[in-house]
Copies of this chain bind each other. A is one copy, B any other.
Amino acid sequence: MSVPSPIIEPRHGQRSAFVTEHVRDLIVSGELKPGSRINERILVEKLNISRTPLREAFKVLEGEGLVSIRPNVGATVVALTLEAVEDSIEILIGLESIGAERAARRATPEAIEEITQLHERMVEAFQSHELMSYFHLNQEIHQKIIDAAQNAALSRVYAGESARIRRFRFAGNNDLNRWDRAVREHEQILDALVRREGPLLREILRAHHLSGWRAARLALEQTPSGEP
């Protein structure tokens, strides 16, 4: 998957944000290889912007854990090991455990309605085999459940950690059996939320993530480099 080059110049005051988003996509899509150094000049020419916003983007992405900056050397795409991803998954599960019980208690009817609609759209994406849109809706549902817990810190931390390892989780969706199973698990998740059964929701989410990661890990271990 290739990230298109910008045709229209971003407006004044949004260059930095634009560049950040673009470089993030380049990393997440794998176009910038994990472990490789990022040459500023090349990217600057490609994106048609100056080095200033690019270097600001690097700082942001470093905060997100996508690149690492060494003084006088520059930015390097972080190469995550499977173990590091597993660490993140464990934290995500922990955060969802915290969020699940709170969400079951505190979710507004509007939030539940929104999640239900997302769920239905996700099922549609599944039925028409639109993997990409399924994947995004899936992620969004999990984030919305967390948001329903109404803890700003939780939402922020979860979003950050989730973004970090997004590309790795994508790998698990290739198998159709797994995909089908994931959708059924999501049915249960929604059901538990609607019935506001906190502990149940927590356990389903936990199992859901574990089986999802098992599938992703299997797929990832096939690739020789250990990269998505």
> Does A95 reach chain B (CB closer than 8 Å)?
yes
A131 close to chain B: CB less than 8 A: no
Contact A90 B151, CB 8 Å, known A52-B52, A56-B56, A60-B63 = yes
Complex-state Cα separation, A8 to B56, whole angstroms: 25
Is the Cβ of B161 less than 8 Å from the Cβ of A88?
A: no
Whether A153 contacts B90 by the Cβ 8 Å rule is yes
Please encode chain A, from 177 to 199, with 1 for each CB lying within 8 Å of some chain B CB and 0 for all others: 00000000000000000000000
Contact A71 B153 (CB under 8 A): no
Determine how close the nearest CB of chain B comes to the CB of A143; give it in whole angstroms.
Answer: 15
- Please pick, from B59, B91, B95, B160, the residue contacting A59 in the complex, using a CB distance under 8 A: B59
Copies of this chain, tallied across the complex = 2
A52 to B55, CA, bound (A): 10
Chain B residues with CB under 8 A of A153: 84, 87-88, 90-91, 161
Which DSSP category, helix, strand, loop or mixed, fits chain A's interface? helix
Question: Is A109 engaged at the interface, CB distance under 8 Å to the other chain?
Answer: no
A176 at the B interface (CB under 8 A): no
Name the B residues within 8 Å of A87 (CB-CB). 151-154
Task: Supply 9 A–B pairs (Cβ within 8 Å), ascending by A.
Answer: A13-B71, A13-B72, A16-B59, A52-B52, A56-B56, A56-B59, A59-B60, A63-B63, A91-B157
